[in-house]
Amino acid sequence: MKKLLLTLPFCAALSCTSDNIQESNINMLAAGKWFLSGVITDFTISETGDTKQINIFDLEVCPECLKDDEIEISSNGGYEISLGEERCDNDTQIFKFPHNGTWRFTADESDIVLNPGTADSIMMNITTLTETELQLTYYDTIPQLLFKNDSAIHPITILYRH
């Protein structure tokens, strides 16, 4: 009861309303399907050795089969990645995400771990999470289909939208 009484004056001073109260991370993650909208990674220009960030969706070599992929994260701890109608060769994904399994937050909810039930769990940093935008960053090699000469580990940020 004392905690509630201390909260009310604080909220009154800040004009707290139901619109100002941010949803929890789990509610935002589990709010339906997230549609893949881009993939940002580092690219080294072989002629100069310079590195720059690029969105592979902006490249001519980006396969169309990526652009309709989506992920659905459920509040009960499951997730599923759908490859969409436009399929890549042999119905495989270019990025090494397991297609379905369980997920969990790390202790501080700054990372999410996708676990397909094998040793292939992937931990990704939640770089952005809003009601309409999700950005997950992990470190891996860039898919060889896109950059055949690059086998170095790079940050890869997956962009999703509602």
Tokens coding 78: 């499951």
Confidence of residue 11 (pLDDT cuts 50, 70, 90): very low
Q: How far apart are the first and last CA of the chain?
A: 39
Highest mean pLDDT among 119-128, 130-139, 146-155: 130-139
Average pLDDT, the chain: 75
* Residue-level pLDDT at 72: 93
* Residue-level pLDDT at 93: 55
Distance of CA 89 to the CA centre of its chain: 23
- Going from N- to C-terminal start, the domains of the chain cover 23-161
The type of residue at 119 is A
Residue 7 confidence (pLDDT) above 50: no
List strand residue ranges (DSSP E) for 13-132, in order: 33-44, 51-55, 70-73, 78-82, 100-105, 111-115, 122-129
73: which strand partners?
Answer: 79
Contact of 67 with 57, CB cutoff 8 Å: yes
Buried b (16+ CB within 10 A) or exposed e, 74-101: eeeeebebebbeeebeeeebbbebbebb
The type of residue at 160 is Y
pTM, whole model, 2 decimals?
0.73
Please state the CATH superfamily assignment of the domain spanning residues 23-161 in this structure: Domain of unknown function DUF4822 (2.40.128.540)
List strand residue ranges (DSSP E) for 45-162, in order: 51-55, 70-73, 78-82, 100-105, 111-115, 122-129, 133-141, 153-161
Residue 20 confidence (pLDDT) above 70: no
Q: pLDDT tens across 67-101, in order?
A: 888 899 999 999 998 877 777 665 555 555 667 88
